Structure 1
Amino acid sequence: MKISRRKTLVAAMSLAVFGLAACGKKEEAKPEAAPASTVAATAAAEPLKVGFIYVGPVGDAGWTYAHDAARKQVEAKFGDKVKTTFVENVPESAADAERVIRDLATQGNKVIFGTTFGYMEAMLKVAKDFPDVKFEHATGYKTADNLAQYDVRTYEGAYLAGIAAGKLSKSGKLGVVASVPIPEVLRNINAFTLGARAVNPKATTKVVWVNKWFDPGKEREAATTLVGQGVDVLMQNTDSAAVVQTAEEKGVVAFGWDSDMTKFGPKAHAAASVIDWSGYYIKRVGEAMEGKWKSETTWWGLKENMIDLKAFNANLSDDVKKLIAEKRQGVIDGTAPIWKGPIKDNTGKEVLGKDVVADDKFLHEIKFYVEGVDGKVPG
């Protein structure tokens, strides 16, 4: 376990005792309790302990890197008023996750962020045993009185990447290295394909699943397989930079995921779908400090600056960047929604009627590939 370098500052306080002089019929003063303001000041001097649980290594790229960069922003914002702790490489297995979450609560962390889908059940269980601790779970769907849920609309970044991919691909064959077949990942694959087909209606997407969030070896193998199938543009929904590195070696195009991965493939890296969690973490930690925290569900995206397509390659044309900027604004102001019918799945079945705009319930329940994605969703 690694602990931030912030030091705890505790104000030393003492009570002065005053005696009353005997005078006439005045009674001797009774001892008084410390004023409420004094108690509050003492409590305020104690830093709020905040814990983070990561599924991968903090490293220098990807999902966990993005969360840890935001944790550092929390420290920068609040200084000695907070003390943050993180535990990396925590498996999603119930026993491992529960053990770490319970340890952080026992150690006095009053706000705990679990940053991957697989921690949901363990957080729900531990939250019942620590009602005074505020728990937050990323990408899941269950809440409790002291358990909130938060997520990022990664599909918006994937859609913008798809637009660029559709313009950059010479073969029209795109590939995605995918992690785990849950709605979150399927949304991203589909949005990437919708973006590509918006500018190239004949574009297709192949998918290779690695069934892990972080496994550089498997990610590299999957990327190599896709390139061998004729794919010339790669996207990923995995946590390492292996896909971008492979693209650099194979001479194809790739998009960074969750963070800027340019340094891993300067020629291959077209742009990156970058997540910035700092606004959310600062808001929630601030609310906990002020006694305003409450359980809620949050899903932020382009509009809230939590996701964006950034780190454009210098070789990306101004025309492509201009098109991306226009589509981005259309998503933000609602004039060009990503999920607007008619949309069909890849069997030809209509899943969204003409002019119907998908709501969040629809998006959370996606279990299909859209038209243009090859293959079947794993059972």
Structure 2
Amino acid sequence: MALRQPLAPYACDATASRGRLFAVSPSPTRSAFQRDRDRIIHSTAFRRLAHKTQVFVPLDGDHFRTRLTHTIEVGQIARALARALRLDEDLAEAVALAHDLGHTPFGHAGEEALESCMKAYGGFDHNAQALRVVTLLERRYADYDGLDLTWETLEGIVKHNGPLTDDNGAPRLRPVARYILDFDAAYPLGLSTFASVEAQAAALADDIAYIGHDIDDGLRAGLFTLEAIAAGAPFIASLLAEVAAKHPRLERGRVIHELVRRVITRFVEDAIATSAERLARLAPKSADDARGAGETMVALSGEMTAAERDLKRFLFANMYRHERVMGVWARARDAISRLFPAFLETPELMPPEWATLAAARDGTARAVVVADYIAGMTDRYALNEAKRLFGA
């Protein structure tokens, strides 16, 4: 068994963390980043991911991915990338495990519906919602709200997809959510720089995981065939030829597994090689050097980026826009679109603690409370609430 290598100079060092909003005594058995990971795993929001949609509403079957199983797969890949690049594996895993805590029920359909409902109140962003969850909405500890995670984990949650602003504070790609701006004003996260290399590893792990498991789920659900995805993506055709040459009479279920494991392996190995080359070329001497390098440290090669683009294009057309998926998503959007105005107008329809919070506010402040409540719902709970209120 290979021994774990010393951390690279550009890795984050748990012993040199920038700390937490609320100071805690050091743990004799866990590093600061291990403690973050454990707090995330034991949170209520993390448990809810077991009953939140990835692509398929879980009522469609027990073997498709949920947000929780997706998150666990992202964490595994993030650790693999971090280990190979000599990063702090625990920080990479903590960011990976927290990255979807702000997602609504019903996957992207639910997020689209909640975004539409919140348009007049500042909008809705799942990354900002994840920050709200870990800094405000988890109410477990006696001394503070939230999970009191380290600065490095909070930075990774907010910026794992890249800088949010330019050096002058102007938004880079889209407006920055108000909660992120307000939080950054009180506890600066450096919105104009890249996140740590560990957070970048978690972001790429997210892409690799969902491509692999969406191919798996889509094939097993019968949304498309092996022949169709091979025709749409030369990368897949080459891997299927490899499987056929090695296992010429393999049954379909095992062919799918052999394909998916090769997809993930190829992407991970390419990411490690490409990222190692970038890190060697740029030679950051510290985690802050990597943050300020002006480009992503963890990336795919040009060839694998093209393969990723082909696969995303195929999955968008043949899975995410499949009539079976779209039909379920339409009903999911309808449920949230009806729940939001009902709770906004009549807060007492919510549980007492939420009703009290909402009733004491009006306008945008009340809408944010309602959005927090809906975003935290599981698919099953949202369906039951729709049935309770509307009989549908």
Name the structure where strand makes up a greater proportion of residues: 1
- The verdict on a shared fold, with TM-score over 0.5 as the criterion, is no
Structure with greater helix share of residues: 2
In the superposition, the TM-score normalised over structure 1's length comes to: 0.29
TM-score (norm 2): 0.28
Higher relative contact order (CA 8 A, sep 6+): 2
